[in-house]
Amino acid sequence: MAGTAGAGAERPREAGDGRDLGERRERGELLFERWRTTAAARVTCLLERRFERMRQGASPEVSRLIDAMEWTLAGGGKRLRPLLALAASHASCGDERPGIPAALAVELMHTYSLIHDDLPDLDDDAVRRGRPTVHARFGPALAILAGDALQSLAFEILAEASRQPGGAECAARACMILAQSAGAQGMVGGQAEDLAFEGSAPSEGERSAMARRKTGELIAASLLTGASLAGLGPAGLSRLGMAGRAAGEAFQIRDDLLNLEGDPGLMGKAAGSDARRGKASLVGCLGPEGARRRLEELSAEAERLISPFRSPRLERLLRALVSRSS
């Protein structure tokens, strides 16, 4: 009887524990979405204020340049890179505020890359986020200048973190990380490979390396600059960098799958352009199903690497990178 009673007493607790776990997960998701929405809006607001200050006393010509700089940013976007910077700062020191300059800088750098990617001599896209691209709206020359100015502004904002007490070394490290990630050994180098590989058949390894440079490096920089401003040490930065590059390659695979199969209405841009231009993607090499398996492997690798940080925000953001529909 005692054994029966004991077993019977355990079953309600197990059921209750299951319900409690489900409720905790649901509450965790709600809190994450609330933070994600609020933090993204904060980044947008801070950037808008920056542009407002830049317009003060500007000539009509410079005002138009600033309009072009802000055009893509004002069109929306998920703000995933700045959110990664804020989450990495929080995971490093328990406070996301040190990572704010990094969040603004990586979003500006990302926006510059989109403007230049869309140019006629590169991807030649006329629509971005459901409206005309910068060169379609303002002309190619001003689009180039807008991208140049956004890149400069990114470093200006990141360098301003040096004004904080003890912030000079952290700001210098963050500037170096962003410069390396965005330059010839990172994002721009990957874009050069992307152009050179069009219509050819590079190896799987070459395509993977290209994806890590073209997309993974700026994803990694988002984590690394936020964590650097929060004072994270070399071992933690190394782990975050590896996680960011794996997640970035997964992000690029997801992007390539969406280009092949996605809904243009959801994406805010045309689908099928990669195939028309003969882009050398991992999807083209592995096929859609093989690419999905690689995406899952890379996602698992990134989650394993960030697990010591015990950061639900980072974990959920990395999942969002690879499960998006636009």
**Model pLDDT for residues 240-275, shown as the tens digit of each residue:** 999 999 999 999 999 889 888 866 655 555 566 676
Instruction: Identify the weakest region by mean pLDDT among 13-17, 147-151, 199-203.
Output: 13-17
Q: Alpha carbon 216 to chain centroid distance?
A: 9
Give residue 26's pLDDT band: very low, low, confident or very high (50, 70, 90): confident
With left for phi above 0 and alpha for psi between -120 and 50, is residue 268 left, alpha or beta? Answer: left
Residue 272 and residue 260 in contact, taking contact as beta carbons nearer than 8 Å = yes
**Is pLDDT of 162 > 60?**
yes
Which two three-digit tokens encode residue 165? 């007490």
Phi then psi for residue 128, to 5 deg, are -145, 125
Query: Residue 13: inside a domain, yes or no?
Result: no
Beta bridge partners of 127: 132
Residue 130 and residue 75 in contact, taking contact as beta carbons nearer than 8 Å = yes
- Residues across the chain: 326
Query: Residue 258: inside a domain, yes or no?
Result: yes
Give residue 29's pLDDT.
85
Query: Residue 274: inside a domain, yes or no?
Result: yes
User: Which domain CATH number covers 167?
Assistant: 1.10.600.10
Query: Residue 56: inside a domain, yes or no?
Result: yes
pTM greater than 0.85:
yes
Angle, alpha carbons 76-292-84 (nearest 5°): 40
Count of structural domains within the chain:
1
Query: Residue 130: inside a domain, yes or no?
Result: yes
Average pLDDT estimate for 114-128 = 90
Residue 99 and residue 165 in contact, taking contact as beta carbons nearer than 8 Å = no
Give residue 265's pLDDT.
56
Q: Alpha carbon 138 to chain centroid distance?
A: 26
pLDDT in tens, 139-160: 999 999 999 999 999 999 999 9
Phi then psi for residue 38, to 5 deg, are -65, -45
Phi then psi for residue 78, to 5 deg, are -85, -15
Query: Residue 221: inside a domain, yes or no?
Result: yes
Within the chain, strands assigned E span 127-128, 131-132
**Is pLDDT of 210 > 80?**
yes
Domain with 114, as residue range(s), is 28-323
